Amino acid sequence: MSLARVHNFSISLDGFGTGADQGPDAHFGHAGDRLHQWMFATQWWEAGGTAGVDDVFVQRHDPGIGAEIMGAGKWGHPGWHEDPDWKGAWGPNPPFHTPVFVLTHHTRPSIDMEGGTTFHFLDTSPAEALETARKAAGDQDVRIGGGPTVIRDFLAARLIDHLHVVVVPILLGRGVRLWDGLEGVEKDYKIEQTSSPSGVTHLTFTRA
Amino acid sequence: MSLARVHNFSISLDGFGTGADQGPDAHFGHAGDRLHQWMFATQWWEAGGTAGVDDVFVQRHDPGIGAEIMGAGKWGHPGWHEDPDWKGAWGPNPPFHTPVFVLTHHTRPSIDMEGGTTFHFLDTSPAEALETARKAAGDQDVRIGGGPTVIRDFLAARLIDHLHVVVVPILLGRGVRLWDGLEGVEKDYKIEQTSSPSGVTHLTFTRA
């Protein structure tokens, strides 16, 4: 069965998946790159990086994934819909290499990028988006790519099968929270916490 | 030097140190005892319990402590100030065995309990309360006992020297958050995360 999986989703100790004051040069707002430094220290990111627990977790991002669903805020910075020719914040060869379904109220025609990524734009519910993405993914799994609001909506709709969250030891104070309004959702899952020598903790939810 | 220390303060994944709907029979509201089950499984709590990482952390609660500061909500359930003769929610022999300073706008005369605990009632700032507690503690440390609002206020005032928080894998959704309004506080500390086989993660902040 095709699973809906979240990988490498980083949050602060106080639960923010992105900071405040997002903009073209600050995709994670005032968080900067602090939520993702653990990732840049691995050999997955750069030769000579670490090969331990952070690396084995981060490498689960791609294998077995046939499509991604992401929010409009991951695809582009606020206001992107005012430029009908813009192709998103991920450059000419985005790191997805599959169909990517962007959830937005500002739909536009699909865009073929280099390297096998095609952006499709959907204005639908999480459940309908997942059904569409599963068809595109064939036998493979669908990655729910974030941001925090999208992951929260999919969790609330009980659509996530595997959730990997990375808790980074910083206090952002402001931004968009991952966990709001999810009381009791953990009851559907087996949860494990794995602390890393890098200072982060990996949290995994799998269907109980 | 006398340190201000927090031990065994448990929060949910979504950051709540106590649940909603607190009352005489629900000191942690709808959280019940779910935030503290990790503690009840240790040999510190009961013979035959675990002797691993949870137990060694939990046992740091008492040694070297000469006084505690707690909030009014830890001393008694909401409305306690309407009963001038009540002696708090901790029974005739409270588990503190030191002077305990209760922060409240409803002060009353000090109360001597069995076993060396004396409750004092203060309507002062965190810094003033800490100064008073340090005098009572002699050369020993002062435990900041909670609840979440008290620990948050002491963190915001940069008064905590050692913070031990236990992250329990449940989503409470409602209650009182520990981390609100503490942006950047982690910069004063060295932080370590230690996951336990029991499923919780121990988080320690020590002065950098």
Q: How much is the CA Rg of chain B, to the nearest whole Å?
A: 16
Tell me which residue has tokens 């073209």.
A24
Q: Which residue of A has its CA nearest to B200?
A: A193
What would the two tokens of residue A35 be?
Answer: 């939520």
- Confidence check: pLDDT of B208 > 90: no
Residues A145-198: tens digit of each pLDDT: 999 999 999 999 999 999 999 999 999 999 999 999 999 999 999 999 999 999
State how far the alpha carbon of B55 is from the alpha carbons of A32, A145, B36, B196, in Å: 38, 38, 13, 10
- Confidence check: pLDDT of A78 > 90: no
- Confidence check: pLDDT of B24 > 90: no
> For residue A23, what pLDDT band results from cuts at 50, 70 and 90?
confident
Coil, strand or helix at B70? strand
- Asked if residue B35 lies in contact with residue B165, where contact means CB atoms within 8 angstroms, the answer is no
Give the domains, in start order, of chain B with CATH numbers.
4-207 (3.40.430.10)
State how far the alpha carbon of A161 is from the alpha carbons of A2, A54, A100, A158, A206, in Å: 9, 21, 19, 8, 6
Q: Looking at CA atoms only, how far is residue B172 from chain A in angstroms?
A: 5
Residues A6-15: tens digit of each pLDDT: 999 999 999 9
Q: Looking at CA atoms only, how far is residue B136 from chain A in angstroms?
A: 33
Provide the pLDDT for residue B23: 86
For residues B43-62, b (16+ Cβ closer than 10 Å) or e, as one string? ebbeeebbeebbbebbebbe
Cα separation, B122 vs B110, whole angstroms: 10
Q: Looking at CA atoms only, how far is residue A122 from chain B in angstroms?
A: 29
Please tell me whether the peptide bond between A147 and the residue prior to it is cis, using omega within 30 degrees of 0. yes
Residues across chain A: 208
- Asked if residue A103 lies in contact with residue A127, where contact means CB atoms within 8 angstroms, the answer is no
B193: nearest CB among A179, A184, A195? A195
Cα separation, B17 vs B9, whole angstroms: 7
> For residue B8, what pLDDT band results from cuts at 50, 70 and 90?
very high
Q: Do A169 and B15 touch (CB under 8 A)?
A: no
Average pLDDT of the segment spanning B145-172: 98
Q: Do A183 and B174 touch (CB under 8 A)?
A: yes
Cα separation, B23 vs B27, whole angstroms: 6
For residues A44-63, b (16+ Cβ closer than 10 Å) or e, as one string? bbeeebbeebbbebbebbee
Provide the pLDDT for residue B69: 98
State how far the alpha carbon of A131 is from the alpha carbons of A3, A101, A122, B38, B147, in Å: 11, 11, 12, 39, 45
B136, with CB counted inside 10 A (0-12, 13-18, 19+), is middle
Q: Report ipTM (2 d.p.).
A: 0.93
Give B95's contacts (C-beta < 8 A, 6+ positions apart): none
Least confident of B25-29, B48-52, B107-111, B162-166: B25-29
Q: Do B179 and A203 touch (CB under 8 A)?
A: no
> For residue A62, what pLDDT band results from cuts at 50, 70 and 90?
very high
Provide the pLDDT for residue B103: 98
Considering only CB atoms, which chain B residues are within 8 Å of A194? 195
Provide the pLDDT for residue B141: 98
Give A199's contacts (C-beta < 8 A, 6+ positions apart): A38, A168, A169, B191, B192, B193
Start-to-end CA span in chain A (Å): 16
Chain B interface with A: residues with Cβ < 8 Å: 13-15, 167, 169-174, 179-186, 191-196, 199-201, 203
> For residue A24, what pLDDT band results from cuts at 50, 70 and 90?
confident
Q: At what angle do helices B126-137 and B148-156 cross, to 10 degrees?
A: 100
- Asked if residue A116 lies in contact with residue A85, where contact means CB atoms within 8 angstroms, the answer is no
A86, with CB counted inside 10 A (0-12, 13-18, 19+), is middle
> For residue A120, what pLDDT band results from cuts at 50, 70 and 90?
very high
A195: nearest CB among B169, B180, B201? B201
Average pLDDT of the segment spanning B18-32: 92
DSSP string, A52-110: SHHHHHHGGGSTTEEEEEEEHHHHS-TTGGG-TT---TT-SS-TT-SEEEEE-SS----
Q: Looking at CA atoms only, how far is residue B193 from chain A in angstroms?
A: 6
Provide the pLDDT for residue B108: 96
Chain A interface with B: residues with Cβ < 8 Å: 13-15, 167, 169-174, 179-186, 191-196, 199-201, 203
Cα separation, A185 vs A87, whole angstroms: 36
Average pLDDT of the segment spanning B29-37: 97
> For residue A77, what pLDDT band results from cuts at 50, 70 and 90?
confident
Interface A-B: count of C-beta contacts within 8 A: 76
State how far the alpha carbon of B135 is from the alpha carbons of B101, B104, B115, B131, in Å: 12, 19, 20, 6
What integer best gives the mean pLDDT of chain B? 96
Q: Looking at CA atoms only, how far is residue B114 from chain A in angstroms?
A: 39
- Asked if residue A77 lies in contact with residue A58, where contact means CB atoms within 8 angstroms, the answer is no
> For residue A95, what pLDDT band results from cuts at 50, 70 and 90?
very high
- Asked if residue A172 lies in contact with residue A16, where contact means CB atoms within 8 angstroms, the answer is yes
Q: Do B173 and A194 touch (CB under 8 A)?
A: no
Provide the pLDDT for residue B25: 86
What are the residues facing B100 on neighbouring strands? B68, B119
Residues across chain B: 208
Q: Do A171 and B182 touch (CB under 8 A)?
A: yes
Q: Which residue of B has its CA nearest to A187?
A: B170
- Confidence check: pLDDT of A79 > 90: no
Q: Looking at CA atoms only, how far is residue A164 from chain B in angstroms?
A: 13
What would the two tokens of residue A205 be?
Answer: 């939810």
- Confidence check: pLDDT of B92 > 90: yes
For residues A27-40, b (16+ Cβ closer than 10 Å) or e, as one string? bbbbbeebbbebbe
DSSP state of B139: T
